[in-house]
Structure 1
């Protein structure tokens, strides 16, 4: 008898970014749990009480700095449960979970931390009866943990380890971006027992099949391979160990149209397999054939798992966890099912998801009268001017509309380079007869950083950095806002950008604007219109050949929050005026809100202001760093109060310390952070009114002071404040009383800048904005003429003036 088809049971909303991993378990009290891990830096536990249909939120697990990419439940024979998570911070965390008759309770903070990996940890599994934990990482290794201590490291893969599976008490399978799968013994971890081949691209998922005598794998080649373990008894090294032959698959399953990321088995004795991937689907396989395709309204279905009752759980790129059931008692109500089907049908599919589309060659809707050849088959038809995609459902014996095909920007698929994911991996030809070099690039990445990394990796001169950036811009058709150096932690040196000579000071600058025309095929909104170093929105512009005017604000919103919190607590213990535990808890809430980009409510910056006022200058650095990130959001202090705090904490009105004195370093960094805090105020919509009304007071405190003494990053921040002020003036229909003061500040920059082109460029864009604004008629003639004379001086400079962006902005201003 054919199994009933899966239908939606529930949609679990709570995460704010991709759900990269889902895991399941049942408690001794009969409850079912889902553990989801997300790129929003959290994991969540969801509870379905015994006999009920719906899942409810049970716990939010925090403690990671960065994406959480892997999850698993550790259960021992006594029934105790530990929720395991791992991610970008290279740590595996364990949270104790207590199950009761009413529900579950989980620790608010990690109870266990397993440290040892050297790169992103992307996969977890647990041995039989909770006997051990195994983790896999981009550092090319897998590690085995007993009692939360590392007992073995499995080395041998040439690229990232994307998947691990515990076979039995001693043996482990690992899958890698090097296209191989290896079987290991914990007792003898020095070399693999066997090597399995058959994939033509990175292997992303593994699952042990019913009975444990075989397993399945999936990968970026779009296939699922089935292998036998029957001939490989524990302790055997036959069939593919070091120097042995590789083992091919017994069978290959095809049906997915893109990368396949995850696998799971369905309980119930039918031998069913679940897979999910980059083609918006989870698929049920039975007897080597696709039995059902479950369409998800998200491009990437990162992870699948099965509950003990056979329900299927999916985590996807739209931040949802979804549960599907065959049992009508656990399926959603008819209205919700209809709404879900409508959501699927109304999805806009990028043509890269379904292949090249020639509309004129497509049949009309009458083609849907012909039955499909197999489950999941996709057919496109032309319905008027719309291209519709339909998928064949064997269960219903009909074609189901899964979306409408549109054009778009981007590749639609992630690429792998040295085992890591990128949006693009370009081939760069450097000479005839020489193999091309690989240039990996993510749309959320600064092109200058990618270019510098490429040059350093291939031992090429940094003189080529502009050419590489232009190559990236051309081939991604992006709207970029340039870059110099990334953030440098002023007290730990973490995240240091080593390319191109950075300028003094301890913290990097916002990326330099290199405004270019938007593409005609639509704008990529997943990352390429956000400055990846500063998280600032791209200055918007009309579809013209010019740059001006620019209305979007630049912000400095990226920092190493883990280092900030650690140093802040350290310094708190050393200062005579200390923050209380309640105040430290408030600081942690601010840091969490900044990390999660919270948009609701006001952040309480009172404790930060207290520390900035009372602590020694050198101890203020981590406080200042968190403060300047916080004020880019609505906060409990108004704009004038924020600016006053920044000026006083940086000792802005006081004489500059004597050259060579120990106070200079702290003064440089505090001044830079004060300027970044003020620049960030323009990103806070609640502050815009104060900034407009009190512009003279705030900007007046900056004029004619220490610009020439600031390090490069401080000068970039100063120019960003000036630019943001003019961006607000461009967007206003009334004249700004601070316009005259602003042009004097532009002159301060252009007259005293030592030669950093980014500083000059921002000041020139600010000048152009002023001339475009309604305040242009109120600008003092003398100061305006001085600004234009200084502009011409920089345009004639043999260094800065030779840059194309400087030439372009000067020419545009000259034409106004």
Structure 2
């Protein structure tokens, strides 16, 4: 190769990981990208060649957009066609001029993770359903039409890669570690050699191709089955390969934060380019010879060999600072062998090649340095924070600038990078697991197993941990047990069955491996920065002083650690940029917000924001927007109720005695809960209304407001579930099939039970205490209604929370008042049914056993 690649520019616009990138065959130098933000986008080069700008965004996905390809203009398609694959199992076709799909291809039964384009209007797809499929698309009377013509079966795991070769050959790469060659729908050869999932394929010629794998290698094959070369150099999963112009070499990228440039006949990379993100998901060689890389930091980075397209010295310096900062904050710190460390004097000698990284010991610190050929010097990339899994000062592990007792590598599925799960011993494992799910946009399906993982791996540490209570005494954490896990030690506890999800990782922990019980319980309040999903009011939150709680001896004996539940469930995950974008969009449709109003709303989106009274007035204003524009307003409301005590008081109490807006607010939220509208906007409003009500429990004023509003809230919850879960309305009102909605509704009832429990009595003023009997009676009734109407149709996590709610409501029943009421409402059958339906879920089964003792013995 004649020249080296240099940083050119960064392309911004996506709001989440850019999963795939394709060098567009459309006119001019363009790029097409697919992202976890559920969009694909078309980018065109700026006129001056200094960067790229977005030309179009393609929407309609209901889950991650994970693969993309395209064809150029033709007689049938003058503008060309763009194809996208998604985790929603559907392939969509777009005109480059339309944001909505013009056709859909359905047939896969799991996520579509790979697409390839061929001659004769042929498209091939790969999926987690272990198949590849061949489609023919054509222009019909009603527009573009597509039809599946072949279904290729034979792989035993997800098909991650597809490649159309010449002479009618098709190659597929799979998580079963093999590459298969197909002709006329039949497998004619299986290539073995990779030791882990095969992630991508690229054609070198009519009879040679490349494959890359999670085993950190790239292999060069002939179509007859011979492996000509194995390329070693990556230190982690290799996700993507792309052949350079002329076929003299290729580029590869993956999970080791590098883009590597290779010559075909070389055993080592010709160039290593450091990247400022953990995951480099995809690389593409563009028409002009540049290389584009799709990254997990929601950007694309462009590299060029042409001096006139290279970035300025200032921009290069800024890019290098990003690389350094990313490595420093990652806390990834690879396991370091002492023999791999070099003395600091090694920096006095030049590197062996551009991009070479060495680790040197400087006193007690280990630093990473990278050799820059052009600058002829070593660049300090920063301290290797997590080297050898060593703890920070005080026995903590640093992650993203915050110290934790543990930072676990959690793999939701085999074959993708691990996600980081930070955890402090003072945190409630259940809430830490929920925050992890919210932060990483994962399915609620994983909640129980992630929590089990936390508990299994911190048992001894939690047993020995004595957090300080508010009075200075030690308090037992209800999550206690045995078996401490030290990151980097024996991974035997992490073994398990993988679940096919390509956006999470492989090799350390796979949900499904643990059968241990999961306890939902109290503990002391967490630092809101460490664990923003959890808030437990302290004694200073009391609106009034109530008589002291009766001694434990007169309470019903505690027979399980599941209840009484302590601490409220709140929802703190936030995508501030997304909310602001929606506010701007809907503002134009609903009368407009001034610049100062937009600024005040932004402050409400920050936990540390400086909130002014005018901000609440602006929030009241946007809460009057039409229902189909209300999504960002409800999101702002949800966060305001959680983060800003004075603002929450204004929302729940009004600014004057005659202010009726609080009453109208709760009526509006309840109206969204029971609506029969099943549009996307209505479902989002329903979910956020429930979460906003949950968050109001964060402050005493909000709790009192919800107690006083129970006659609005409880009937809405009952009516909504009777509509949504009855068989006659299952099709017309399917919104309660949404797990997140079910869990939010269950969380709201559970929060009421926490407020009503003996441990919370001191937090209620005298007026509200007078309501507690009526509210508790209503709460018992509603939770049983939900259990009865849901039964086998409810999500297991929602069912668990309902059971904990019921247990909390009756665990301090000194006179059996609520026990008798629960019995009269049919609690015995409900509890037995839940135990039978979810006998495979340990925490539910154990809850039902405990409830049976409390109710009937």
TM-score using structure 1 length: 0.62
In structure 1, the residue matched to 2:709 is 698
Distance change >3 Å, CA 551–CA 368, structure 1 → 2: farther
Partner of 1:112 in structure 2? 103
Question: In the alignment, does 2:128 pair up with 1:141?
Answer: no
The answer on 1:644 being equivalent to 2:647 is: no
2:801 is aligned, of 747, 754, 758, to: 758
Query: Secondary structure of the residue that 1:110 maps to in structure 2?
Result: coil
2:455 aligned with 1:473: yes
Matched with 1:256 is 234
- Residues 322 and 413 of structure 1: CA distance in aligned 2, closer, same or farther (over 3 Å): farther
Cα deviation, residue 523, structure 1: 12
CA distances 1:722-763 after superposition (whole Å, capped 9, x unpaired): 268799x99x99979646545753465469966977346447
**d(CA) in 1 for partners of 2:720 and 2:115?**
51
Instruction: Give the unaligned 5+ runs of structure 1.
Output: 98-105, 230-238, 240-246, 425-440, 455-467, 483-498, 500-510, 531-536, 558-581, 587-597, 611-622, 653-664, 667-671, 769-783, 811-816
Q: 1:20 is matched with which residue?
A: 19
User: Cα–Cα, structure 1 residues 26 and 469, in superposed 2: closer, same or farther, change >3 Å?
Assistant: closer
User: Could you say which residue in structure 1 is the equivalent of 2:161?
Assistant: 163
CA displacement at 1:27 relative to structure 2: 3.8
User: Does the aligned pair in 2 maintain the 1:643–1:678 contact within 8 Å?
Assistant: no
Is the aligned partner of 1:369 residue 2:359?
Answer: no
Distance of 2:121 and 2:714 partners within structure 1: 66
The answer to whether the 8 Å contact 1:15/1:319 transfers is yes
- Displacement, 1:21? 0.4
Q: What is residue 334 of structure 2 aligned with on the other side?
A: 355
Pair 701,126 (structure 1): closer, same or farther in 2 beyond 3 Å:
closer
Corresponding residue for residue 315 of structure 1:
294
Residue-by-residue CA offset, 1:173-226 (whole Å, 9 max, x unaligned): 1111111112222xx21x1232222101110011112x4332111000000001
- 1:470 and 1:556 map into 2 onto residues whose CA distance is 22
1:457 counterpart residue number: none
Determine whether 1:47 maps to 2:44: yes
Over 3 Å counting, the alpha-carbon distance change for 1:362 and 1:314 in structure 2 is: same
5 Å matches for 1:224-373? 224-229=218-223, 239=224, 247-267=225-245, 269=246, 271-286=248-263, 287-288=265-266, 289-348=268-327, 353-357=332-336, 362-373=341-352
Instruction: Describe how 1:678-689 pairs up with structure 2 within 5 A.
Output: 679-682=690-693
Q: CA deviation at 1:372?
A: 3.9
**Contact in 2 for aligned 1:127/1:166 (Cα 8 Å):** yes
CA contact (8 A) 1:197 1:248 kept: no
Q: 1:701/1:113 Cα in 2 relative to 1: closer, same or farther (>3 Å)?
A: closer
Alignment pair present for 1:61 and 2:58? yes
Q: Report if the CA contact (8 A) 2:674-2:719 is conserved.
A: no
Aligned equivalents of 1:724, 1:183: Cα separation in 2: 60
Unaligned runs of 5+ in 2: 138-145, 387-396, 398-405, 421-435, 463-476, 480-511, 513-517, 539-560, 575-585, 591-603, 607-617, 642-650, 652-659, 678-682, 726-741, 788-798, 823-827, 836-842, 852-857
- How far apart, CA to CA, are the structure 2 residues paired with 1:197 and 1:806? 49
Instruction: State how 1:127-206 maps to structure 2 within 5 Å.
Output: 127-128=118-119, 131-147=121-137, 148-168=146-166, 170-185=168-183, 188-189=184-185, 191-206=186-201
3-state SS of 1:192 partner: strand
Helix, strand or coil: the match of 1:5?
A: coil
Task: Please tell me whether the aligned partners of residues 747 and 787 of structure 1 are also in contact (alpha carbons under 8 angstroms).
Answer: no
Residue 256 of structure 1 deviates from its aligned partner by 0.6
2:195 is the alignment partner of 1:213: no
> Residues 180, 32 of structure 1: CA spacing in aligned structure 2 closer, same or farther, 3 A cutoff?
same
Name which of structure 1's ranges 717-726 and 16-25 shifts more when overlaid on structure 2. 717-726
C-alpha separation in 1, matches of 2:528 and 2:270:
38
Structure 2 contact 569–751 (Cα < 8 Å) conserved: no
Q: Tell me the residue number matched to 1:568.
A: none
The secondary structure found in structure 1 opposite 2:369 is strand
Q: Offset at 1:700?
A: 5.0
Q: Summarize the Cα distance change of 1:6–1:604 in structure 2 as closer, same or farther, 3 Å threshold.
A: farther
In 2, Cα distance between equivalents of 1:115 and 1:549? 47
TM-score between both structures, scaled by the size of structure 2: 0.59
1:442-457 equivalences under 5 Å are 449-450=445-446
Aligned-residue CA RMSD (Å):
5.7
Further displaced range: 684-693 or 294-303:
684-693
Distance, in Å, in 1 between the alignment partners of 2:190 and 2:102 is: 36
Shift of 1:765: 7.3
Q: Secondary structure at the match of 1:46?
A: strand
Output one character per residue of 1:130-189: Cα deviation in whole Å (capped at 9) or x when no partner: 74221111111112222232222222211111011121362221111111112222xx21
Partner of 1:560: none
Write the deviation string for residues 310-348 of structure 1: whole angstroms up to 9, x where unpaired: 111111111111111222221222222111111212234
Give 1:46 deviation, angstroms. Answer: 1.1
Partner in structure 2 of residue 36 of structure 1: 33
Shift of 1:705: 11
Instruction: Call closer, same or farther: CA 1:123–1:676 in 2, change over 3 Å.
Output: closer
Cα distance, 1:84 vs. partner?
A: 1.6
Change in 2 beyond 3 A, CA 1:50/1:410: same
Residues 64-102 of structure 1 deviation map (CA, whole Å, 9 limit, x = unaligned): 1101100112125556421221110111111112xxxxx
Whether the aligned pair in 2 keeps the contact of 1:5 and 1:395 (CA below 8 Å) is no
SS of the counterpart of 1:722? helix
Q: 1:724 to 1:87 in 2, by over 3 A?
A: farther
- Deviation, 1:42, is 0.9
SS in structure 1 of the partner of residue 775 of structure 2:
helix
Distance 1:643 1:203 in 2: 53
- Flag the structure with higher helix content: 2
- Please report how far the alpha carbon of residue 306 of structure 1 lies from its aligned counterpart in structure 2 after TM superposition: 1.3
Cα distance in 1 for residues equivalent to 2:324 and 2:767: 53
Following superposition, the deviation at residue 280 of structure 1 comes to 0.9
CA contact (8 A) 1:43 1:85 kept: yes
Partner-residue secondary structure (3-state), 2:110: coil
**Take 1:806 and 1:791, find their aligned partners in 2: how far apart are those partners?**
16
Question: Is the alpha carbon distance of 1:735 and 1:447 closer, same or farther for their aligned partners in structure 2, counting shifts above 3 Å?
Answer: same
Q: Are the equivalent residues in 1 in contact too, given 2:569–2:695 (CA < 8 A)?
A: no
